[in-house]
Amino acid sequence: MTTPLPRDPIADARRNWEDHGWTDVAAPMAAITAIMRTQQILLSRVEAILKPLGLTFARYELLALLSFARSGALPMNKASALLQVHPTSVTNAVDRLEKAGLVSRAPHPTDGRTTLIEITAEGRTLAKSATAALNAEVFSQSGFSPEDVDHLISILGRFRRDAGDFSDQDL
Amino acid sequence: MTTPLPRDPIADARRNWEDHGWTDVAAPMAAITAIMRTQQILLSRVEAILKPLGLTFARYELLALLSFARSGALPMNKASALLQVHPTSVTNAVDRLEKAGLVSRAPHPTDGRTTLIEITAEGRTLAKSATAALNAEVFSQSGFSPEDVDHLISILGRFRRDAGDFSDQDL
DNA sequence: GCAATATACTAGGACATCCAACGGTTTTGG
DNA sequence: CCAAAACCGTTGGATGTCCTAGTATATTGC
């Protein structure tokens, strides 16, 4: 990676906001910007681990989701809902996973509109390897202390619920 | 937006991890996934506000950065470093902002390799409007309590520093 | 029972991000 | 003082995300 900056650019942005009189929103702005940047860092770590396996994070997420499904299959729209991405993003991911022989499309037995995505044996094997790699290289050394992890899960869980991601009450 | 899911998909993923014996990394996995999803939600809110102004978040960030620079100008590589994105992303953003008359490129006075990005009067005006809109529509109603904001800034600040973003000691 | 509405997936297009490679410019070093 | 190395920005390509629109299938409602 590149040389670290001498100062935190987000802290600087916050100071700029305060200097311009937007004091009340300076802190939330900094928090939101920090989330954006943190996501970027984490995503690049994950992608670096998955790349040698021929996967991207988007494809891995779909593969992992299928591997945990009881039947190893899910309708496209269900996958879209669970992964919280646009249906066309799922189409895109399935296209590539299918081309790699990791999943296959099958018609839904009763609903002609629906397409089922099924994970193949190869897909299952690769999902296992990828999960092991991510566990060992990313999740086990996230850079967050256990307390930080708890805080993040709780803060972001409330946020996502309030944003309409899900309706669970138990947070 | 779509109907909320009955249950938190990230909490489900965490349970899956635990059921497979990856108990030690289940929580960090959940925290990281939550950051990814939260970023997605926040980005879409920001983009929705900027779209009517003809801006994207990437272009807004660059425009805002320039508007805060003393001289209203920055070298490309400096902007790349401060925004923490790849140089080609800056090239892309500048191309579009320039086409819209919001910034202009100028040669560096002493270093022939370097290109300066200068914000135009129009760019300055638009940056003001965009910041006002974001402050009013996003940052002032982030969905995070003041305590959450403090926690996030501190947790993510340490994380970004440890990840090599900057070398500040004062966190 | 059939037209109107809703749902599911996909095709095409706009943007953003990164990486690899290339052509200039500047700095380093022997 | 000139060749080698470092640095800067751009082009081209791969991926991902979303949106809009279009086709096909189901469900509704009169």
In this predicted structure, the answer to whether residue A54 has a pLDDT above a threshold of 70 is yes
N residues, chain B: 171
Cα(B114)–Cα(B107) distance, integer angstroms: 7
Q: Which residue has the higher pLDDT, A70 or A3?
A: A70
Contact A32 B142 (CB under 8 A): yes
Domain ranges in chain B are: 8-53, 55-142
User: Does residue B151 belong to the interface with chain A, where contact is any CB pair within 8 Å?
Assistant: yes
The CATH architecture of the domain made up of B55-142 is: Orthogonal Bundle (1.10)
According to DSSP, the residues that pair with A104 across neighbouring strands are A118
Window 47-106 of A: residues touching B by CB (8 A cutoff) are 64, 68, 81-84
Given this model, what pLDDT does residue A122 score? 97
CATH for the stretch A55-135: 1.10.10.10
User: Does residue A166 belong to the interface with chain B, where contact is any CB pair within 8 Å?
Assistant: yes
Contact A82 B164 (CB under 8 A): no
For A71-122, the pLDDT digits (tens) are 999 999 999 999 999 999 999 999 999 999 999 999 999 999 999 999 999 9
User: Distance between alpha carbon A104 and the CA centroid of its chain, in Å?
Assistant: 22
For A55-73, the pLDDT digits (tens) are 999 999 999 999 999 999 9
Cα(B101)–Cα(B64) distance, integer angstroms: 15
Cα(A87)–Cα(A125) distance, integer angstroms: 26
Task: Report the DSSP pairing between strands A115-119 and B73-75.
Answer: unpaired
Nearest CA to the C1' of C15 belongs to which residue? B56
Enter the tokens of residue B52.
Answer: 């009517």
Cα(A66)–Cα(A118) distance, integer angstroms: 7
What H or E segment, with its residue span, contains residue A147?
A: helix A146-162
Given this model, what pLDDT does residue B59 score? 98
Given this model, what pLDDT does residue A171 score? 61
Given this model, what pLDDT does residue A3 score? 83
Cα(A79)–Cα(A44) distance, integer angstroms: 23
Task: With a cut of 70, list the residues of chain B below it in pLDDT.
Answer: 1, 169-171
Given this model, what pLDDT does residue B171 score? 60
For B17-31, the pLDDT digits (tens) are 999 999 999 999 999
